[in-house]
Every structure is written in structure tokens, then in C-alpha cells.
């Protein structure tokens, strides 16, 4: 089986994103619009909509939000046959939007389904023979499941490209815990994607280039720092480049980083660059993949919520 025919797997949480809805008039209550979200789930949906064969690995609750997650994933052609059925409730995030369209969250995540992974539940992933496993966010840092996920990455690493996105959530987990585990993640990963907000939480005041050097020394060969409308800083093989983002009228930025990662992995998968240690990756292929990722992110910013585009909807010029 060639690298391009092997699927991509995404492991992590689903989150019910409850957005404060405009009412048009003042009143005593608060109306919420609930949309399916969660960084890893957003990435899986975006990958599948772009045409990459994608398996999502999450502990899906049997509650009303779990049904919402299942519908979104299956309607986007994401495979969920390896997802355990969880008895715990789903994670809920209530999001308000700032004047720049950025989301500000409060989380309801104690004892929810997403963090309870066991080694037995993760065992089927080894038989999937994925070209790439992408994970991150809270799945890598909240116990009891985080240690089991790290063991899985270590097991898969010889034949599977490992992609990580820390997606720091300081309201749920202190940045110090991410910072303490990040060297271990860099030793396991081939691709590390962070936002400029993540960088500020992990290495406040450190220039992105210096932070990239720290992570390279810890073992990860490819680092990408997404910079919103300024594009993405790419650091690979001793070279750094800034890849610009296309202009877009921003509705909100929810899911933009997840969409960027999906676009990047989709193009690398299509090019046959996934399935090992990035040994065949060239700068031309990487630049094209990053530019495509910025297009997918921009299209996601142009609509409300984490609603990444299908391949045929990508009308933003390259």
C-alpha cells in the first residue's frame, strides 16, 4: 500500500460550541446556537471534505451533542468506525466573539468523554496503517487519556508521520503543563503546528524563529507558526520562509487553524510525502502545501463557525 493510498487518522476531542446568538433586542434570557466543533474534529472534517480518506478517533458520547457530532462527521465522509461509544457526557464550550471575530471561550469539560482514553480503546488504531496521525489539543495534555495517547504515538512513529497541534487552552489547562510536555511531543512528532496565540502562551516574548530553533533541537523537523492574516512562518531543514495568506473578509476565525492544518496535510498526502519521516519532502512541495493551507483557512474565516470548505468551494485565488 503506497503512502498516498493509506488514510490519514485524526485523534482528539469533539466539542459542542455554543455561540451567543444575536437576539435583535434586549431581554432577560440568552440564546445559544450550538454547532459541532473541537480542534481535532474540525481538522478531520476539513480533510475529508478536501478528499483525503480520513478516520476520526474520538470517544463519542451518547448524549444529544454526541448525535450532533456523529451526523457532522459522517455527512462530511469521515470514517468513525473506530470511535468508542462513551457513557460520559460531551464537552461543551460557550463562545462569545470579540470585535475582531476571534472566539473567547468558557469550557464545561470536567469528567467528559474526551479525556478517558484507555490503551484497549486505542489498540485498533495500530491496525489502521495510517500514513499520518494528527492529534493535539487537550487529548495530549488531559489525563487519564493523555499518557495512553503518547504511548500510541511512540508505537506508530516508525511507519506513520506524526502531526501535532498543541492548541493551548489556558482556561482548562495551565500553560506550564503544555510547556513541560512539549519537548516530549517534539521528540515524537514530524510536524508541529502552533498559532501565534499558542506561542505567546508557551514562550511569551520569544521571537517565533527562536522558538522554532528550540523545538527543532527537541527533535521535530517541520514547524509551522500560523500568524492569522499575515500567513504562516515555515521552518524546515535549516530554512525559514513566510508564506502569505490570501485576503479575506473575516466573519470569524473559529476553526481557521484546524482548517490550515487540514489543507497542509491534504496536499502533503496527495504528494506522497506522508507515511514516514518526511524523507521525500521538498521545499517546493512544502511551500505549495502551506499556501493551500492558508487558502482553506481563509475560506473558513469567510463563514460563521468551524465550517471548512469542500474542495469545489475553494474559490479564493491561490
- Nearest alpha carbon to residue 178 among 120, 210, 138: 138
- pLDDT of 277 reads 93
What is the pTM (predicted TM-score) of this model? 0.92
Helix (H) or strand (E) holding 198: helix 196-202
Confidence of residue 138 (pLDDT cuts 50, 70, 90): confident
- pLDDT of 168 reads 92
Is the distance from CB of 274 to CB of 268 less than 8 angstroms?
yes
Q: What angle do CA 110, 57, 228 make, to 5 degrees?
A: 75
DSSP conformation class of 62? S
- pLDDT of 1 reads 38
Residue 316: pLDDT above 60? no
Q: What percent of the chain has pLDDT over 90?
A: 73
Q: Label residue 99 exposed, middle or buried (CB < 10 Å: 0-12, 13-18, 19+).
A: exposed
- pLDDT of 317 reads 45
Is the distance from CB of 220 to CB of 192 less than 8 angstroms?
yes
Calpha distance 184→86 (Å, rounded): 28
**Lookup result for grid cell 451533542:** 65
| Mean pLDDT, residues 124-129 taken together | 92
**What are the φ/ψ torsions at residue 106 (nearest 5 degrees)?**
-125, 135
Helix (H) or strand (E) holding 36: strand 32-37
- Angle separating helix axes 64-75 and 39-50, nearest 10 degrees: 30
- pLDDT of 98 reads 64
DSSP conformation class of 6? S
Confidence of residue 83 (pLDDT cuts 50, 70, 90): very high
Number of H helices, E strands in the chain: 9, 14
Rg of the chain over all Cα atoms, to the nearest angstrom: 18
Q: Return mean pLDDT, the chain.
A: 91
Residue 149: pLDDT above 90? yes
pLDDT per position as a tens digit, 180-201: 999 999 999 999 999 999 999 9
- pLDDT of 20 reads 77
Name which of 18-27, 83-92, 264-273, 299-308 the model is least confident about: 18-27
DSSP conformation class of 96? E
Confidence of residue 296 (pLDDT cuts 50, 70, 90): very high
- pLDDT of 102 reads 63
- pLDDT of 253 reads 85
| Mean pLDDT, residues 129-146 taken together | 92
| Mean pLDDT, residues 48-70 taken together | 96
Is the distance from CB of 232 to CB of 165 less than 8 angstroms?
no
Residue by residue, DSSP assigns 255-274 as: THHHHHHHHHHHHHHHTT--
How do 54-57 and 8-11 pair as beta strands? Answer: parallel
Residue 5: pLDDT above 90? no
Calpha distance 305→255 (Å, rounded): 7
Residue 24: pLDDT above 80? no
- pLDDT of 27 reads 64
| Mean pLDDT, residues 173-185 taken together | 94
Amino acid at each position: 500500500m503506497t503512502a498516498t493510498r493509506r488514510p490519514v487518522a485524526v485523534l482528539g476531542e469533539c466539542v459542542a460550541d455554543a455561540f451567543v446568538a444575536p437576539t435583535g433586542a434586549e431581554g432577560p434570557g440568552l440564546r445559544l446556537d450550538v454547532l459541532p466543533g473541537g480542534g481535532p474534529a474540525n481538522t478531520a472534517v476539513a480533510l475529508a471534505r478536501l478528499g483525503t480518506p480520513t478516520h476520526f478517533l474520538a470517544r463519542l458520547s451518547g448524549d444529544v451533542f454526541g448525535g450532533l457530532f456523529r451526523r457532522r462527521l459522517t455527512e462530511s465522509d469521515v470514517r468513525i468506525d473506530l470511535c468508542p461509544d462513551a457513557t460520559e457526557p460531551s464537552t461543551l464550550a460557550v463562545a462569545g466573539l470579540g470585535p475582531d471575530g476571534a472566539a473567547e471561550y468558557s469550557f464545561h469539560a470536567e469528567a467528559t468523554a474526551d479525556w478517558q482514553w484507555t490503551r484497549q480503546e486505542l489498540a485498533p488504531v495500530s491496525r489502521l496503517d495510517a500514513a499520518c496521525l494528527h492529534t493535539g489539543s487537550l487529548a495530549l495534555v488531559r489525563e487519564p487519556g493523555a499518557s495512553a495517547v503518547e504511548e500510541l504515538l511512540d508505537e506508530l512513529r516508525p511507519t506513520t508521520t506524526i502531526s501535532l497541534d498543541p492548541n493551548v487552552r489556558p482556561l482548562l489547562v495551565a500553560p506550564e503543563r503544555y510547556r513541560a510536555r512539549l519537548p516530549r511531543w517534539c521528540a515524537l512528532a514530524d510536524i508541529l503546528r502552533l498559532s501565534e496565540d499558542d506561542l505567546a502562551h508557551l514562550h511569551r516574548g520569544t521571537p517565533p524563529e527562536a522558538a522554532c530553533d528550540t523545538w527543532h533541537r527537541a527533535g521535530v523537523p517541520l514547524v509551522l507558526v500560523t500568524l492569522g492574516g499575515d500567513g504562516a512562518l515555515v521552518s524546515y531543514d535549516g530554512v525559514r520562509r513566510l508564506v502569505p495568506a490570501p485576503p479575506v473578509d473575516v466573519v470569524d476565525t473559529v476553526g481557521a487553524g484546524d482548517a490550515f492544518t487540514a489543507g497542509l496535510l491534504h496536499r502533503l498526502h496527495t504528494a506522497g510525502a506522508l507515511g514516514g519521516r518526511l524523507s521525500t519532502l521538498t521545499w517546493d512541495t512544502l511551500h505549495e502545501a502551506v499556501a493551500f493551507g492558508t487558502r482553506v483557512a481563509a475560506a473558513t474565516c469567510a463563514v460563521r463557525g468551524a465550517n471548512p470548505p469542500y474542495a469545489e468551494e475553494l474559490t479564493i485565488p491561490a
